[in-house]
Structure 1
Amino acid sequence: MSQTHFRTCNLCEAMCGLAIEHDGKEVISIKGDVDDEFSQGHICPKALALKDIYEDPNRLKKPVKKTADGWVEISWKEAIEEVAQALANTRKQHGADAVGVYSGNPNVHNSGAILSAPEFIKELRTKNRFSATSVDQLPHQYMAYLMYGHQLQIPIPDIDRTDFLVILGANPIISNGSLLSAPNIKKRLKNIQDRGGKIVNIDPRFTETSAKSDQHLFIRPGSDVFMLLSMLHILIEENLVNLARFENHLNGYEDLHQLVKDYSPENTAEITGIESDVLTDLTRQFANTAKAVLYGRMGVCTQEFGGMCMWLVNVLNILTGHFDEPGGYMFTSPAIDLKPQISKGHIGKWKSRVRGLPEVGGELPSSVMAEEILTPGKGQIKAMIISSGNPVLSTPNGAQLEKAFESLDFMVSIDIYINETSKLADIILPTATGLETDLYDIIFHTLAVRNTSKYSTALFDKAEGAKYDWEVFRALKMTYLKSMNKMSLSKRLKIGIAHLFSPEKMLNILLRRGPYDLSIKKLKQQPHGIDLGALKSQMPDSLYHKDKKINLLPNEVKEDLKRVKQKLDTFKPDDFLLIGRRQLRTCNSWLHNSQRLLKNNSCQLFLHPKDAEKLGLQEKNSIMVSSRVGQVVVPFETTEEIMQGVVSLPHGWGHKGKIKLDVASTSPGTNINELTDENFVDLLTGNAAVNGVAVKLEAHKN
């Protein structure tokens, strides 16, 4: 007899509610939960992959060890002890920094990992910590810390109440929202227009979101900072600034006038590709609309001025009276607020050994990972822990990183697949996943367009002998401390007490500390979730700066403006600039082993027909694309939906080598990160600049 299980999809940030029909052993169907308080029945095609992942014959369920004869299964006891001993030996011989850690995106979609991994990583005492953050949203966190006093105090656009939405460097109809949890965002955007509002999309490509917008503007990749500075120039010159109730809660406003004097829209039009009168009109509309918001995301974060762009996005929303107001740039009030539980953040307490890039919030930029492994000397990384990540496909210069991982003394991957990264490990520790785990989206409830709360119980029991991620991290922590002879009586008692608290019990404590009188018991009684209301104004009380003022012009920004000015003064257009592209049926390098999702995906380079004509390209040709770090040959498609001088390649592809992904291997595609440059970063934040990479093109006959 079939039953229905309700849960949240954990494959992207939208948190769509699912109604899963099953017979207790197998999934029969997956549909949208029409009664879900947040998503109201909407799902995207990715949700069906939960069944595929659960049933995937390639999915690992027991630890495996690499031997001369290939991968062999080993017991959990042997695997945990061998990993812990290898890490302890590395630390004893070479020091704590000889162990490196990389955490991938799936950890953020997993409440068990969020609550357990940090305690294990803390015991390693290493400064060589990396994550997907620095190939993604680091500029958001960097500016949240500098401007508002906490790295997680990140404002989001209140799109459900805005009347004028400017989308810069984002394609939410495909991403389903990013740092903007908004299920059925297509409908939410349509609602803006239905109430008489307007959507403007600014992107080097005419995207799926552009097609649903009222206006689209092409912009040269990497030039967003100049457009934003020109918007600030216009606001000040035309007296369009509206400080509203923040007039007495800003530090640094008076200095902005002098800093933007050189950035008139006439002075930046050549570098951005946006005509001065068009930008002036846009700025006036934005400033003069009561409920308006500017939203900047991946395209503005992952470029050489990512930090400056996010500073300006915040400043423009603040100075137009659209900050902390309904329909503008607002903060959430989540049922579980991690901000009081974790560090506010810090910048530059230490720097990377080779290039000297600063840590941010305790992590070094992922772009320095390979050089920290390959460069001899004190502090050289000798062993790596990769937690639910595939950085060979997802970080710059993947080919170099692959060589670096191959050179390690020891590497362990916590992963359910043998993929392009985990294939390089000595041991792989697979955890129960997806439908086998409970879920509370701690992070994404904090970034949602409405305040909601929902707890999903596991649909299926984990396989016999399998372990949850939190069980793995706890076992590694205890065994590692024993190997290091760090298990004093007090430490043993402390760990023993901590181990009494499952993630569910920890979540229950956090819920009870929150403002809504919630508990796990109450959430279990509401399987469709609980709506806690629209976003609310909360400034300046929720500022983390002691003076309760917004740091509108941080010293770090003042210094980096010199780099921006130098770029403007010395600008020379490159032949071609490469940008990434996200696809609806995948998440980064996830999901290509699902046949139903792979069949409608392809890996082709987009370029403008006039560029193809200049290069003498024929439809049956492929293109050789080269950058400083490598070259690839890829099929292409001409389209007028991309700016001339710009080419676009989707990310997450490049399946090759001794992987065990039977479906993905049938359509390997090309890894864009064989072209992205690990030396091309935003020098302010250290975030990878994977967009706006200079490349050369030439025809390649098949």
Structure 2
Amino acid sequence: MDNGTHYRTCHLCEAMCGVAIEMKDGHIAYIKGDENDPLSRGHICPKAVALQDLHEDPDRLRKPIRKTATGWQEMDWDEAFDLVADRLHQTRQEHGRNSIGVYLGNPNVHNHGSLVATMPFLRAIGSQNRFSATSNDQLPHMLASLEMFGHQILFPIPDIDHTDLFICIGANPMASNGSLMTVPDFRGRLKALKQRGGKMIVVDPRRTETGRLADEFHFIRPGSDALLLMAMVHTLFEEHLVDTGPAERLVKDVDLLRLASLAFTPEAVSDHTGIAADDIRALARQLATTRKAALYTRMGTSTQRFGGVATWLAYCLNILTGKLDMPGGVLFTQPAIDLVELGAMSGQKGHFGKRHSRVKGLPEFAGEYPASTMADEILTPGEGQIRSFVTVAGNPVLSSPNGRRLDEALGGLDFMVSVDYYLNETTCHADVILPPTAALERSHYDLIFSMFAVRNVAKYSEALFEAGPDTRHDWQILLELAHRLEKRRKGGRLPLRAELGWRTFKQIGPDPILDLLLRAGPYGADMGRVRGLLQPAVDLVMDILPQRHPLRGLAKLSPLNRHWQELPKGLSLSALKENPNGVDLGPLQPSLPERLFTRDGRINLAPRRYLEDLGRLHDLLKTPADTELQLIGRRHVRSNNSWMHNSQRLVKGKDRCTLMIHPRDASRLGLQTTDAAGISADDRQIVLPVEITEDIMPGVVSIPHGWGHDREGTGQSVAAAHAGASINDVLSDGDIDPLSGTSVLNGQSVTVKVWRPERQRKRA
């Protein structure tokens, strides 16, 4: 790569921050924020600077390796592809197609090449035993969007740049820069909100980095968010504050929600939530009476026993107070490549519960089973037992509940392959590891997070470094494996047309597909004079064809649709290359009713599956408030996933993998700051240093996620030197939200004691 400044998007979290990378003599000299990026406006966090560390990491794998009796051994690519295809094909022939399991990790959604190649790869595998990080993360939001708006990835995004009241429950955007709300420089945006007279309210079991900046803060007991939100709904109806605003004619079943909320008075939920009844009413009133307001919830509310109901109620509150489709409220994005509309055109709007997992009977979502049941499906004998496993850019041993049990399960497989460039706590179980190129060696476009951004933008980044001749991009690895698996399934040869199709796909790669999607989208080609000739035909198609006809979908998506006539035009891959800082496509805009995908074109305010689950919430209301210590996770701005801990600049400094505990609880348990604590649940236990702080609610303890690098057989030297302990070694994989199948990562009960190593050795 030439000397000088090169512009990219940081791929390490959802924020899509623009970076300016200065190159000198073929190496990175420094990394800073891109002041001309239309979304991040010069902001970056410490993770972005560590892009250099991840690229230059000597622990990163560059060639395929296989496990032998004497250790890991390098192999060439063709040999590796044949070995993997042969073993997976053998498993399928001997035990059936569902005997192969697949897990997809978070980094896949930051990678347009991987996204393009994943579907043909999964089709070639042919198994129903598919898993991903979704059920440990965002599934309740996807389910609510599917049930209420008709599409699993149509998320209402807070218009934070124009709101006057931001209510944040169970989220920490100061550390995350948003999640399902791509919002780089949250601090700067919050400052602007306050300068225009606005206010932020935070509700959380911990006074997070975001909570410390709040104008109003409330502690809440973990797992009780659904009670709080239902009491707010009750207050809106009781005080005649319901006004659905712009969505009024689209919303149905308002009375069903009113009836469902009758028993959940603020007084009834106060003891369970830890929030005074008057404060609950005040929250509801502020949301209702502030014209430009948005309520936002995330991990703390969704990854709990009532995650499905809590997320649904958060959406309901925005709708009942007229904030949906309102500037300054919550709006749907209009990205340059509209995967929402493209998915609907192909019949892929999402589905839930079409089948259930073999062992625990958990519902699938969009073809995936909950990650919490992976170990069950591997360890439990019988037809459909997983015998071979594929992981792609994931480390579920550290990111899924009961990691030790998953350790055991992966260790007993017949065969395992990992597409990953680290020998980590999961891939150490693989028989073969196929390492893809690093992120700076491939082009980048954010297909997914452009759909969740607080402003419509588009940005393409060319590869910063040329990939070596003996390397493969992840999309090349996935397509090559898919091609070879298909050939074996067909007896060794494919029909000529299919063979040519595979070869063409592998040759052109994802970027020409990206270009086609950009040109065909709402900001695409400016037809000029041709527009006048084609416009009547497009209008006719939109008027006469059925709602779900594919031609109507194409017309709706095209730049010739009159709905998009005010949007900027001319977007293409070449146009983005000419604008390396990115292209500003404008603020979020009202888009209803055109953006709805429900069968009747209306918003389902009270889907039956949520109403049926309220029996559990009633039962919770009848039981005494829990007095056991409740465990929650936490996030730090210098961390995101487990694979970031191999950067020295991200892990240096004060130990962040600690047990946070309130002084009152520490005193009761005899804990001091210099102590280590044993945190246990059933037969699962970890040990961590104690951090005593009033920033956490009494009765609650907190451990960060992604740590636990003390397993044997890994190859990340920096991470091993800062091992910490995995919160998922304490959490049970049997504790899930039965409505959605989401893992309960917040609100499980634990026991905490002073850790005395000598006493523990004597007991052993």
TM-score norm. by structure 2 comes to 0.91
Instruction: Give 1:399's match in structure 2, choosing from 399, 404, 428.
Output: 404
Instruction: Give 1:376's match in structure 2, choosing from 370, 375, 381.
Output: 381
Higher mean C-alpha deviation, range 115-124 or range 260-269? 115-124
What is the distance in 1 between the residues matched to 2:110 and 2:624?
Answer: 41
Q: Deviations over 1:359-391 (max 9, x none)?
A: 011110000000000000000000110000000
Q: Deviations over 1:142-179 (max 9, x none)?
A: 11111000101111111000000000000000011111
Which residue does the alignment assign to 1:516?
A: 523
Q: Does residue 121 of the first structure (1) align with residue 128 of the second (2)?
A: no
* Matches for 1:135-534 after TM superposition, within 5 Å: 135-342=136-343, 343-485=348-490, 487-489=493-495, 490-517=497-524, 518-534=571-587
Q: Which amino acid aligns with 1:605?
A: L
What is the distance in 1 between the residues matched to 2:686 and 2:466?
Answer: 44
Which residue does the alignment assign to 1:74?
A: 75
Which residue does the alignment assign to 1:573?
A: 626
Tell me by how many angstroms 1:497 deviates: 4.0
Higher mean C-alpha deviation, range 252-261 or range 155-164? 252-261
SS in 1 for 2:383: coil
Q: Deviations over 1:265-293 (max 9, x none)?
A: 00000000000001111111110000001
What is the distance in 1 between the residues matched to 2:374 and 2:676?
Answer: 32
In structure 2, the gaps of 5 or more residues are 525-570, 758-764
Q: Which amino acid aligns with 1:637?
A: E
What is the distance in 2 between the residues matched to 1:341 and 1:498?
Answer: 20
Q: Does residue 535 of the first structure (1) align with residue 588 of the second (2)?
A: yes
Q: Does residue 133 of the first structure (1) align with residue 140 of the second (2)?
A: no
Instruction: Determine if contact 2:703/2:727 at 8 Å carries over to the other structure.
Output: yes
Q: Does residue 654 of the first structure (1) align with residue 687 of the second (2)?
A: no
SS in 1 for 2:630: strand
Higher mean C-alpha deviation, range 50-59 or range 491-500? 491-500
Q: Which amino acid aligns with 2:702?
A: S
Which residue does the alignment assign to 2:736?
A: 681
- Distance verdict in 2 for CA 1:95–1:571, change over 3 Å: farther
Q: Does residue 64 of the first structure (1) align with residue 69 of the second (2)?
A: no
Q: Deviations over 1:80-102 (max 9, x none)?
A: 11111111111111111100000
Instruction: Determine if contact 2:247/2:325 at 8 Å carries over to the other structure.
Output: no
Q: Which amino acid aligns with 1:74?
A: M
Q: Which amino acid aligns with 2:225?
A: D
SS in 1 for 2:202: strand
Instruction: Determine if contact 1:582/1:588 at 8 Å carries over to the other structure.
Output: no
Q: Does residue 690 of the first structure (1) align with residue 745 of the second (2)?
A: yes
Q: Which amino acid aligns with 1:592?
A: H
Instruction: Determine if contact 1:8/1:456 at 8 Å carries over to the other structure.
Output: yes
Which residue does the alignment assign to 2:761?
A: none
Which residue does the alignment assign to 1:544?
A: 597
What is the distance in 1 between the residues matched to 2:64 and 2:256?
Answer: 58
SS in 1 for 2:210: helix
Q: Does residue 640 of the first structure (1) align with residue 694 of the second (2)?
A: yes
What is the distance in 1 between the residues matched to 2:318 and 2:246?
Answer: 13
What is the distance in 2 between the residues matched to 1:191 and 1:629?
Answer: 49
Instruction: Give 1:588's match in structure 2, choosing from 641, 652, 668.
Output: 641
SS in 2 for 1:248: helix
SS in 1 for 2:422: coil
Q: Deviations over 1:575-616 (max 9, x none)?
A: 100000111111121211111111035211000011011011
Tell me by how many angstroms 1:574 deviates: 3.6
- Distance verdict in 2 for CA 1:130–1:3, change over 3 Å: same
Q: Which amino acid aligns with 2:113?
A: G
Higher mean C-alpha deviation, range 378-387 or range 475-484? 475-484
Which residue does the alignment assign to 1:622?
A: 676
What is the distance in 1 between the residues matched to 2:71 and 2:22?
Answer: 38
Instruction: Determine if contact 1:608/1:640 at 8 Å carries over to the other structure.
Output: yes
Instruction: Determine if contact 1:397/1:678 at 8 Å carries over to the other structure.
Output: yes
Q: Which amino acid aligns with 1:177?
A: G
Q: Which amino acid aligns with 2:244?
A: L
Q: Which amino acid aligns with 1:549?
A: R
Q: Which amino acid aligns with 2:306?
A: F
What is the distance in 1 between the residues matched to 2:26 and 2:396?
Answer: 34
What is the distance in 2 between the residues matched to 1:274 and 1:327?
Answer: 27
In structure 1, the gaps of 5 or more residues are none
Instruction: Determine if contact 1:629/1:674 at 8 Å carries over to the other structure.
Output: no
Q: Which amino acid aligns with 1:686?
A: G
SS in 2 for 1:11: coil
Q: Which amino acid aligns with 2:142?
A: Q
Q: Which amino acid aligns with 1:66?
A: K
What is the distance in 2 between the residues matched to 1:341 and 1:123?
Answer: 22
What is the distance in 2 between the residues matched to 1:261 and 1:24?
Answer: 69
What is the distance in 2 between the residues matched to 1:497 and 1:417?
Answer: 30
Instruction: Determine if contact 2:100/2:125 at 8 Å carries over to the other structure.
Output: yes
How many residues are matched? 702
CA RMSD of aligned residues (A): 1.2
Tell me by how many angstroms 1:494 deviates: 3.3
SS in 2 for 1:208: coil
Tell me by how many angstroms 1:123 deviates: 1.9
SS in 2 for 1:654: coil
What is the distance in 2 between the residues matched to 1:445 and 1:143?
Answer: 20
What is the distance in 2 between the residues matched to 1:597 and 1:345?
Answer: 37
Q: Deviations over 1:496-516 (max 9, x none)?
A: 343343211010111112111
Instruction: Determine if contact 2:101/2:386 at 8 Å carries over to the other structure.
Output: yes
Q: Deviations over 1:226-269 (max 9, x none)?
A: 00000000000000000223232122111112111110000000
Q: Which amino acid aligns with 2:582?
A: G
What is the distance in 2 between the residues matched to 1:660 and 1:260?
Answer: 53
Tell me by how many angstroms 1:340 deviates: 3.0
Instruction: Determine if contact 1:629/1:677 at 8 Å carries over to the other structure.
Output: no
Q: Does residue 699 of the first structure (1) align with residue 754 of the second (2)?
A: yes
Q: Which amino acid aligns with 1:378?
A: E
What is the distance in 1 between the residues matched to 2:322 and 2:364?
Answer: 33
TM-score norm. by structure 1 comes to 0.99
Tell me by how many angstroms 1:532 deviates: 0.4
What is the distance in 2 between the residues matched to 1:498 and 1:33?
Answer: 34
Instruction: Determine if contact 1:61/1:463 at 8 Å carries over to the other structure.
Output: no
Q: Deviations over 1:33-75 (max 9, x none)?
A: 1111221111100011111111111000100000011111000
What is the distance in 2 between the residues matched to 1:141 and 1:268?
Answer: 27
* Matches for 1:3-18 after TM superposition, within 5 Å: 3-18=4-19
SS in 1 for 2:643: coil
Q: Does residue 95 of the first structure (1) align with residue 103 of the second (2)?
A: no
Which residue does the alignment assign to 2:539?
A: none
